[in-house]
Structure 1
Amino acid sequence: MIVRIMGEGQVRLDDSHLTELNRLDSELLAELDKGDAAAFRATLVSLLDAVRGLGEPLPDDFLEPSDLILPSPDATLEQVRAMLRDDGLIPG
Structure 2
Amino acid sequence: MNKPPSGKPGAVQVWELAQSLRGQFRAIPGGVVGWDMTAALAMAEALGLNRLIAAELLPVIEPFAVRGINAQVRATQHDDAI
- TM-score using structure 1 length: 0.29
Higher relative contact order (CA 8 A, sep 6+): 1
Larger C-alpha radius of gyration, 1 or 2? 2
